[in-house]
Amino acid sequence: MEIISRETAYDGHYKLKLLTVQDGDKQLKRERFEPGTAVAALVWDTKQERYLLTRQYRIGAEAEIVEIAAGMVDGDEAPEVAIRREIQEELGYDVDQLEQIARIYPSPGANAEVITIFFAEVSNKSGKGGGLEEENEKIEPVVFTHEQLVAEQFEDAKTLIAVQWAQLRK
């Protein structure tokens, strides 16, 4: 299979592309959602010995979701730089240590999004967190012990991956 043409169907907060794919002697039309490149992190406060997650309204779920800290990479910013910024904006912490857990395509059938998932250790709260007002973010920190974290029923895929990683690591 080979993509032979790309057209932009929508260019708003996110992008939608119309692709023509050559498959042998057939040409197929496909839509691809292109939200960009994202980062996320399971955050461990080494002083409190607790995990720090977030609760916020997510339009896809049409509900508040508890999930690991996450956000978008800006331009050609490195994922490590982006996740440090997101942790500061959402939780108010400076990152002490950062370890990559995985780089995933959450839904590669029609979605071009790539998410790099990290494990971050923090100890110094230097900001208020809660997200950025200019981005209309209203983020509430949620604190979990290890036992609470592994017992919680998460609905978010990147969070499930990070929690399973934490279970295997313990």
Q: What is the CATH number of the domain that holds 76?
A: 3.90.79.10
Average pLDDT for residues 115-127, to the nearest whole number? 96
Average pLDDT for residues 69-88, to the nearest whole number? 96
Indicate if 27 and 51 belong to the same structural domain.
no
Indicate if 17 and 70 belong to the same structural domain.
no
The token duo for 114 is 């790539």
pLDDT in tens, 41-68: 999 999 999 999 999 999 999 999 999 9
pLDDT of 134 reads 78
pLDDT for residue 133 is more than 90: no
Contact 163/42 with Cβ under 8 angstroms? yes
Indicate if 102 and 89 belong to the same structural domain.
yes
Indicate if 25 and 75 belong to the same structural domain.
no
Facing residues of 117 across strands? 40, 102
User: Domain limits at 15?
Assistant: 2-33
Average pLDDT for residues 95-119, to the nearest whole number? 96
Indicate if 28 and 45 belong to the same structural domain.
no
The 8 Å CB, 24+ separation contacts for 48-53 are: 48/143, 49/145, 50/143, 50/144, 50/145, 51/143, 51/144, 51/145, 51/146, 51/149, 51/166, 52/91, 52/93, 52/122, 52/141, 52/142, 52/143, 53/141, 53/142, 53/143, 53/144, 53/159
pLDDT for residue 170 is more than 80: no
Indicate if 10 and 71 belong to the same structural domain.
no
Residue with tokens 């996450």: 70
Compute the mean pLDDT over every residue in the chain, rounded to the nearest whole number: 95
Indicate if 24 and 71 belong to the same structural domain.
no
Indicate if 53 and 128 belong to the same structural domain.
yes
pLDDT for residue 132 is more than 90: no
As a whole number of angstroms, the distance between CA 150 and CA 160 comes to 9
Indicate if 46 and 20 belong to the same structural domain.
no
Nearest to 138 by CA among 60, 56, 65: 56
Cα–Cα separations (whole angstroms), residue 15 to 111, 116, 158: 10, 20, 21
pLDDT of 17 reads 96
pLDDT of 79 reads 98
- How many CB atoms neighbour CB 22 within 10 A? 13
Average pLDDT for residues 87-102, to the nearest whole number? 97
Q: State pTM to two decimals.
A: 0.92
pLDDT for residue 24 is more than 80: yes
pLDDT of 157 reads 96
Residue 136 DSSP label: T
The token duo for 54 is 């977030």
Indicate if 48 and 94 belong to the same structural domain.
yes
